[in-house]
């Protein structure tokens, strides 16, 4: 479930865009450095003027660009290797990005201003979420939100352009079974990755309905909050006090900009009808009940705030769900019904159509490494032997509702070196990434030679992965 309960659960699903571990380049969400406020170089208290350290086409790369990103990595604890190595890596990522941006002009690739602003708002919303409030963010960086927004606007735009160009380069790259096998057998035996212990788990879910009385209670409470807002109280303050959306409540219910198709349909339909400042009636979604206030609209993108109240399942109905699963467990353990049939007959989860398998949200597969499991699930399945089923256990559904489920450990796969028989999907992905990387490498080396590139002498000692200049050192 996403942090904001009103988002669709698949909002962040990645299609096969390649920004994976195989690239040394990561277009991280830029966070302006707190130290940059004292000097253009990003060094605290410094007086050195900023300088151009590289040029790609007509676009300069500044010393502060490298320093700021280096300091961001350091603050995040992401530094690996020496300071010079890290700065060389950052510079190469910027060279790559600027080369992509230059190519976007050749290919007439553009990003809509509204899209850039929407992405910018989403990132700023994330920064505010991390700091706890807009005021804390502004105090930390010594800049207003408007100044921060202005500072990172072009960076976000360039990243979006570069992403589109990169996807165009690798979009049609695929691997055949023979290429997958060839890739695997090309790996030195001692370099074949170790696969950690993995689990394949299935479940049977019972989701007791919320009774009518509870739904009416929640609607009445929301209507009271709406009345208070119309009488002059702050929507933001009431959202902080009462909203049950953990992702937006602390931001006064504000969601940041979203486009069409990114929110629950009923929520979206109501929100797009509002004018700035206007407040909706009570809106029902899978997450619960909402009132919505329009903040701003830019084309097809909207920024709203909302208050979410989630009706609770009664203790009696929860107990009935548990008792039902108790009887199902007895049927399965007595071999009166197979687990497959029990899933079809009794489960109320959406994965009843795939045999009740838990899907790993990080990989899309049915295998989980231990650290990828929900702690409650991990605690339970570690007590089970393969083929065993748990007693009913309480849990929260994706919509945040109380429910019960049975967990069935189908398989526990011991640690082992990856092999084609057990780990074909993983090896297929590795082979695809390797081929995509080779495609990217070839593209960079070819286009860098056709584009004007200048790198400051201080950085020509870097061991770059790609050939940016004739006679340069390479990794």
What pLDDT digit, counting tens, does each position of 329-340 carry?
999 999 999 999
- Would you report the helix, strand and coil content of the chain in percent, each value rounded to 5? 45, 15, 40
From the number of C-beta atoms within 10 Å of its C-beta (0-12, 13-18, 19+), residue 42 rates as buried
Distance CA 29, CA 14 (A): 16
Share of the chain above pLDDT 90, in %: 54
8-22, 42-56, 83-97, 371-385, range with greatest mean pLDDT: 371-385
Q: Where are the domains of the chain?
A: 197-209+314-414, 212-309
User: How many CA atoms are closer than 13 Å to the CA of 185, on its beta-carbon side?
Assistant: 6
The least confident of 84-98, 138-152, 186-200, 318-332 is 138-152
CATH number of 212-309: 3.10.50.40
pLDDT tops 60 at residue 97 = yes
At 338 the pLDDT is: 95
pLDDT beyond 90 at 40: no
Q: Which helix (H) or strand (E) holds 444?
A: helix 424-450
What is the pLDDT of the chain when averaged over all its residues? 85
Please provide residue 290's backbone torsions phi and psi, each rounded to the nearest 5 degrees: -135, 155
Cα distances (angstroms) measured from residue 13 to each of 362, 364, 429: 9, 9, 16
Average of pLDDT values for 408-427?
Answer: 94
Helix H or strand E segment including 218: helix 212-230
Q: Does residue 98 have a pLDDT over 80?
A: yes
Which of 406, 344, 402 minimizes the C-alpha distance to 204? 406
Q: Indicate the pLDDT class of residue 201, thresholds 50, 70 and 90.
A: very high
Q: Can 197-209+314-414 and 212-309 be said to share one CATH topology?
A: yes
- Per the model's pLDDT, the better-predicted residue between 76 and 385 turns out to be 385
Q: CB under 8 Å to 94, separation ≥6 — which residues?
A: 54, 61, 65, 66, 69
Residue 46 has pLDDT above 90, yes or no: no
What's the confidence (pLDDT) of residue 471? 52
Burial of residue 392 (CB within 10 Å: 0-12, 13-18, 19+) is buried
Percent of the chain with pLDDT over 70: 87
Tell whether the model's pLDDT for residue 217 goes beyond 80. Answer: yes
Q: What is the pLDDT of residue 14?
A: 34
Query: HSE on the CB side for 398, CA within 13 Å?
Result: 17
- Please state the length of the chain: 475
Would the pLDDT of 108 be above 50?
A: yes
pLDDT band at 473 (very low <50, low <70, confident <90, very high): low
What per-residue confidence (pLDDT) applies to 470?
63
Give pLDDT, residue 28.
40
Residue 206 has a pLDDT of 96
- Residue 297 β-bridge partners: 302
Class in CATH terms, 197-209+314-414: alpha beta
And the tokens for 328? 């199902």
The pLDDT score that the predictor gives to residue 475 is 57
Query: What are phi and psi for residue 198, nearest 5 degrees?
Result: -125, 155
Instruction: For residues 18 and 152, give the distance between their C-alpha atoms in angstroms, rounded to a whole number.
Output: 23
pTM: 0.68
| Structure confidence by residue, pLDDT tens digits, 257-311 | 888 888 899 999 999 999 999 999 999 998 899 999 999 987 778 889 999 999 9
pLDDT at 415 over 90: yes
CA distances from 245 to 240, 241, 266, 392, 403 (A): 10, 11, 17, 27, 19
């Amino acid at each position: 479930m996403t942090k904001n309960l009103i988002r669709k659960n698949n909002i962040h699903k990645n299609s096969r865009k390649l920004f994976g571990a195989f690239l040394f380049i990561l277009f991280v969400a830029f966070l302006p450095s707190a130290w940059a406020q004292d000097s253009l170089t990003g060094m605290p208290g410094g007086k050195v003027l900023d300088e151009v350290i590289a040029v790609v086409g007509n676009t300069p790369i500044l010393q502060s660009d490298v320093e700021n990103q280096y300091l961001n990595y350091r603050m995040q604890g992401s530094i690996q290797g020496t300071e010079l190595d890290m700065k060389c890596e950052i510079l190469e990522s910027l060279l790559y990005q600027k080369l992509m941006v230059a190519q976007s002009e050749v290919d007439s690739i553009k990003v809509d201003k509204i899209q850039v602003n929407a992405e910018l708002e989403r990132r700023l919303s994330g920064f505010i979420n991390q700091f706890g409030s807009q005021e804390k963010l502004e105090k930390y960086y010594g800049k207003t939100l408007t100044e921060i927004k202005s500072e990172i606007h072009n960076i976000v735009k360039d990243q979006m352009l570069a992403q589109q160009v990169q996807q165009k380069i690798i979009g049609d790259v695929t691997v055949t079974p023979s290429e997958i096998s060839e890739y695997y057998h090309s790996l030195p035996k001692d370099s074949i990755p170790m696969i950690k212990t993995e689990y394949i788990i299935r479940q049977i879910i019972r989701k007791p309905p919320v009774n009518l009385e509870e739904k009416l209670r929640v609607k009445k409470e929301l209507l009271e909050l709406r009345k208070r807002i119309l009488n002059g109280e702050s929507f933001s303050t009431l959202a902080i006090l009462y909203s049950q959306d953990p992702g937006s409540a602390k931001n006064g219910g504000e969601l940041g900009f979203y486009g069409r198709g990114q929110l629950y349909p009923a929520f979206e339909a109501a929100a797009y009808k509002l004018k700035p400042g206007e407040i909706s009636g009570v809106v029902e979604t899978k997450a619960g009940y909402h009132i919505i206030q329009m903040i701003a609209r830019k084309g097809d993108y909207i920024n709203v705030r909302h208050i979410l109240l989630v009706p609770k399942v009664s203790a009696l109905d929860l107990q009935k769900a548990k008792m039902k699963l108790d009887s199902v467990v007895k049927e399965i353990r007595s071999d009166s019904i197979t687990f497959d049939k029990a899933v079809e007959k009794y489960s109320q989860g959406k994965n009843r159509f795939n045999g009740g398998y838990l899907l790993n949200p990080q990989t899309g597969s049915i295998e989980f490494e231990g650290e990828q499991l929900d702690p409650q699930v991990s605690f339970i399945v570690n007590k089970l032997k393969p083929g065993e089923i748990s007693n009913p256990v309480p849990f929260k559904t994706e919509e945040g509702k109380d429910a019960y489920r049975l967990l069935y450990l189908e398989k526990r796969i011991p640690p082992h070196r990856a092999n084609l028989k057990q780990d074909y999907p993983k090896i297929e992905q590795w082979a695809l990434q390797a081929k995509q990387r080779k495609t990217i490498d070839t593209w960079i080396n070819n286009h860098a030679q056709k584009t004007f590139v200048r790198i400051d002498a201080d950085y020509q000692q870097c061991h770059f992965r790609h050939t940016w200049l004739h006679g340069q050192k390479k990794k």
